[in-house]
Amino acid sequence: MLTRSRKLLITLPVTLLFSVVGWAQTTAFEGDVKGEDGKGVPKAVVHIDRKDIKGAYKVNTDKKGHYYYGGLPIGTYRISVEIDGKERDSIDNVRSKLGDPTNIPFDLKEAAARAAAATPGGAAGAPKDVEKGMSAADKAAYEKKLKEQAEKMAKNKELNDAFNAGVEAENNKQWDAAVQNFEKATTLDPTQNVVFGRLADSYVALAATKTGADQDAALAKSVVAYQKAIELKADAPEYHNNYALALAKQKKFAEAQAELTKAAQLDPPQAGKYYYNMGAVLVNTGQMDPAGEAFKKALEIDPNYADAHYQYGIYLIGKATTTADGKITPPPGTADEFQKYLQLRPDGPFADSAKAMLATIGQTVETQFSKPGEKKQTPKKKSQ
């Protein structure tokens, strides 16, 4: 039994923990509100109303007439500006975009001209009002700007449509479709780190459905996408973590360990997860002592990390000695690691194995535990 336990870390690869990159994506709107005199309007109320699902937000312009509202979910909105209790202008069906805030300016002089044009008898004079004071060059520049804004908004819509289609395909585990849509999104805007992160994740998932050369090709593409995501946002620990897992699948363990170290440095509160992953990478390459140190480090950061207790216990039991009469003596604390795992996850995937390890070293299984954090522990009851 002990011989088997010493080999357990090699024969049973440890599962690594994948970080989800598609955390709720947020967006922002900003812009300037200009009055009919061309100056910024302070304290104008900008309403941002979501159309695809219920959601209403508002913000006041600053003293220069500028507004900004961030942290919004990606969606379709109606944005309007209110002055002195009266709506003065609006724009409908605005699709928010990834990355930089979507710029939605309001020019009340232009809004007044449009309103005049829509009024009976006002259409003839409206264009002249809009163009009043403009030279031919100014008019051409103005029309060019409008055209560029329209093209930009169309491109942003196409980008977001591709991204959202990729997310939907990803949620439905349609990895080919997810890859196709995220690839399209990267060509529309190659500066969005979240798109490359999603693309890389989808390639990893796609690789799991393939074998041989097809699997290798998908993993290689995932690595390229992770590298691009990190290039665009080097301080995102989830990219380093997931990149490490892809590298590990390619058996590039030294590089994987370096990326996991970066993830832990960037995200100290979650460092336990990254050190656990480091231990898993080391275990799966037969580097037991460094793996044990990594699991121990994970527990120092998070003492209630159940799986780390189990893996550290397996590492310790591999250090056990056997006397001439056949008595097994594990290092101090070995049984505690398995008992702690059973306390935290009594029905966990390693529960039966933890009980077997305790039986191997002559320990009985505790069947009643105090809850984590309780000062007084319930008296222990030995199993029959």
The structure tokens 């050369």 sit at 213
3-state secondary structure 176-201: HHHHHHHHHHHHHCCCCHHHHHHHHH
* pLDDT range class, residue 62, cuts 50, 70, 90: very high
| Verdict on whether the full-model pTM lies above 0.75 | no
pLDDT at residue 310, as a whole number: 93
Cβ neighbours around 380 below 10 Å, total: 12
Q: Sketch out the chain's domains with CATH numbers.
A: 26-97+100-132 (2.60.40.1120)
DSSP secondary-structure letter at 93? Answer: E
Of 267 and 145, more confident:
267
Reported as a pLDDT band with limits 50, 70 and 90, residue 311 is: very high
Q: How confident is the model at residue 149 (pLDDT cuts 50, 70, 90)?
A: low
- In the structure, what pLDDT confidence band is assigned to residue 178 with cuts at 50, 70 and 90? very high
Q: Strands 56-60 and 66-73: what pairing?
A: unpaired
pLDDT value of position 97: 75
- What local confidence, expressed as pLDDT, does residue 92 receive? 87
Whether the per-residue pLDDT at 147 is higher than 60: the answer is yes
Whether the predicted pLDDT of 372 surpasses 50: no
Buried-state track 187-198, b at ≥16 Cβ within 10 A, e below 16: ebbeebbbbbbb
Specify the higher pLDDT residue, 100 or 193.
193
For residue 17, the model assigns a pLDDT of 63
What is the rounded average pLDDT of the residues 31-38? 92
Q: Residue range 42-64: average pLDDT?
A: 89
According to the model, what pLDDT value does residue 151 have? 63
Q: Is the pLDDT of residue 8 over 50?
A: no
Per-residue pLDDT averaged across 82-105, rounded? Answer: 86
Lowest mean pLDDT among 255-259, 313-317, 364-368: 364-368
Does pLDDT of 127 surpass 60? no
pLDDT over 60 (residue 159):
yes
The confidence score (pLDDT) of residue 113 equals: 75
The pLDDT of residue 34? 94
Q: What are phi and psi of 47, to 5 degrees?
A: -100, 135
Q: What would the pLDDT profile of 184-241 be if each residue is shown by its tens digit?
A: 999 988 988 888 999 999 999 999 999 999 999 999 999 999 999 999 999 989 899 9
- Buried-state track 137-173, b at ≥16 Cβ within 10 A, e below 16: eeeeeeeeeeeeeeeebeebeebbebbbbbbebbeee
pLDDT at residue 384, rounded to an integer? 37
- Amino acid 369: pLDDT: 45
Kindly state the average pLDDT of the residues 52-60.
83
Out of 69-73, 94-98, 197-201, the most confident range is: 197-201
Checking if the pLDDT of 367 tops 60, the result is: no
Write the DSSP string, 259-307: HHHHHHHH-GGGHHHHHHHHHHHHHTTT-HHHHHHHHHHHHHH-TT-HH
Give the residue, 8 or 228, on which the prediction is more confident. 228
Share of the chain above pLDDT 90, in %: 41
Q: How many CA atoms lie within 13 A of 243 on its CB side?
A: 26
Residue type, 357: M
